[in-house]
Amino acid sequence: MYKVAIIGATGLVGSKMLEVLAERNFPVSELIVAASEKSIGKTILFKNRNYTVVSVQTAVDAKPQIAIFSAGGTTSLAWAEKFEANGTYVIDNSSAWRMNDKCPLVVPEINAFVITPNSKIIANPNCSTIQMVVALADLHKRYKINRIVVSTYQSVTGTGIKAVKQLMDERNNIESEKAYPHKIDLNLLPQIDVFLENGYTKEEMKMVHETQKIFGDENINVTATCVRVPVMGGHSESVNVSFETEFELNEVRAILQKTKGVKVTDDIAKLQYPMPIHAHEKDDVFVGRIRRDESQAKTLNLWIVSDNLRKGAATNAVQIAEYLAEAHLIEAQKE
C-alpha cells in the first residue's frame, strides 16, 4: 500500500487521475488531495469516501511516497523539488521537467527502464506525443524512423475546464470568459500554446523534442502542426512517417496489432477508422487509415486517435506509479 498525493486534484486531469487510480485499483493506503488556495476545504469523492482538499504545503508535510502533479508548470517548478527532498517520487504532467537531463520522460510501454532509484522527478510527456510514440515504437524498432510529419486535431479538453465551457457556451449563444483568442465552435485554431521565434508553437516543438528524447534518438526529424478543434473525447493525428528500411503493409499491420496499448481499427470497406467519439474514456491508442505514401519511398501514413485525458495524461501517470511499485523502487507500507 502506498501514500499518494494528487496535486491539482480539482482540475480535469487531476479528477481523471483519481478516477484511473480507482479503476486500476492502485493500492492507496492514504490519499492526499491538494490544489490551489481557492479549492482548499472542498471535498473530493474517491472510492466512496470524501477527502478534503489541502494546500500543497500540507501535502509536502505528509511525506507521500508518490506525488502525481497536474497543476501546471509554475506549480511543478515551485513544489516538485520540495517533495523530492522528502524522498517522494514525483510524476509530473506539466512541461516543466520534460527536457531536464536529470528527469526521465516516460511512456511505460516504451521506456520505463530509464527510471532509476535516483529518478525522483519523472516527467509525463505531452498528450499528443504519447499517443504518437505508442503507435510508432515497435515500427521504429523494426524499420528505424528517419522523419515524422504530424498534424494534430486536438480536443478542447486538452486546454481544460475553461475551454470546454467556452465551446459549450458558444454552442448555446451564452457570452462568457474565453479560453481562446478566437471562437472555437464551428472553427479550427491552428495555434496551441504560444508562438516561438521560429514560427512554431510550444506544443509543436514539444512533439519534436519529446519524441527524440523518448526514443533516445536526436537524429529522428520531426515537424508538427498542432490544431485545436471543437471536439471532446480525444486527440487525433495524421502521421506521415519515413523509415530507413522498406516495409510491407501486412507486416506493419501485424506489428501494430501486437503493439502494447494499440488497437487497430482499419476496415475501410466497412468505413471503420478511429474517431475521438470512440476513443473517449478508453486507454487504448487507436490506429487506422494505414496506407503507403505513394509519393515517397519507405513512407507510411497513419491516423492515430486517443483520449488525451486518459492515456495522454492520467493513465500514463498512473502506469508510471504502477511501474515504481512493480519494480520495487518504492517500499510498500503494510496495510
- Using alpha carbons, list the distances in angstroms from residue 132 to 31, 136, 163, 165: 32, 6, 24, 28
pLDDT, tens digit (0-9, with 9 covering 90-100), for 17-54 = 999 999 999 999 999 999 999 999 999 999 999 999 99
| Residue ranges of E strands in 8-162 | 28-34, 43-46, 49-52, 66-69, 89-92, 121-123, 145-154
Mean residue pLDDT across the chain: 97
Biggest alpha carbon distance in the chain? 60
pLDDT, tens digit (0-9, with 9 covering 90-100), for 172-192 = 999 999 999 999 999 999 999
Active-site residue (options: 103, 127, 140, 226): 127
Q: Using an 8 Å Cβ cutoff, are 228 and 191 in contact?
A: yes
Residue written as grid cell 464551428: 186
**Cα 52 to chain centroid, rounded:** 27
Q: Where are the domains of the chain?
A: 2-125+313-326, 128-307
Identify the CATH homologous superfamily for domain 2-125+313-326.
NAD(P)-binding Rossmann-like Domain (3.40.50.720)
Q: What is the pTM of this model?
A: 0.96
Which pLDDT belongs to residue 330? 86
Whether residue 289 is predicted with pLDDT greater than 60 in this model: the reply is yes
Which pLDDT belongs to residue 333? 67
Q: Centre a 10 Å sphere on the Cβ of residue 240 and count the other Cβ atoms it contains.
A: 17
Q: What is the dihedral of CA 160, 164, 166, 168, to 10 degrees?
A: -170
- Report d(CA 41, CA 326) in Å as an integer: 34
Residue written as grid cell 503493439: 259
- Report d(CA 274, CA 122) in Å as an integer: 30
Q: Using an 8 Å Cβ cutoff, are 331 and 1 in contact?
A: no
Active-site residue (options: 103, 140, 226, 235): 235
Which pLDDT belongs to residue 200? 98
- Tell me the mean pLDDT in the region 191-197: 98
Task: Identify the residue with better confidence: 275 or 335.
Answer: 275
Q: Is 127 a catalytic residue?
A: yes
- Report d(CA 234, CA 240) in Å as an integer: 20
Does an H or E element contain 139, and which? helix 127-143
- Tell me the mean pLDDT in the region 194-215: 98
DSSP 277-311: HHHTT--PEEEEEEEE-TTSTTEEEEEEEE-TTII
Q: What pLDDT band is residue 331 in, cutting at 50, 70 and 90?
A: confident
> What are the phi and psi torsion angles at 18 (to 5°)?
-65, -40
pLDDT, tens digit (0-9, with 9 covering 90-100), for 91-126 = 999 999 999 999 999 999 999 999 999 999 999 999
pLDDT, tens digit (0-9, with 9 covering 90-100), for 218-277 = 999 999 999 999 999 899 999 999 999 999 999 999 999 999 999 999 999 999 999 999
Whether residue 335 is predicted with pLDDT greater than 80 in this model: the reply is no
76: cell is 511543478
Whether residue 211 is predicted with pLDDT greater than 60 in this model: the reply is yes
- Report d(CA 312, CA 308) in Å as an integer: 4
**93 three-class SS:** coil
Alpha-helical regions (H) of 9-124: 12-23, 56-61, 73-85, 108-111
For the structural domain made of 128-307, what CATH number should be given?
A: 3.30.360.10
What letter represents residue 185's amino acid? Answer: D
| Residue 241, C-beta contacts closer than 8 angstroms, at least 6 positions apart | 136, 139, 145, 147, 148, 149, 299, 300, 302
- Report d(CA 163, CA 154) in Å as an integer: 12
- Report d(CA 298, CA 282) in Å as an integer: 32
Whether residue 334 is predicted with pLDDT greater than 60 in this model: the reply is no
DSSP 226-269: EEE-S--S-EEEEEEEEESS---HHHHHHHHHHSTTEEE--BGG
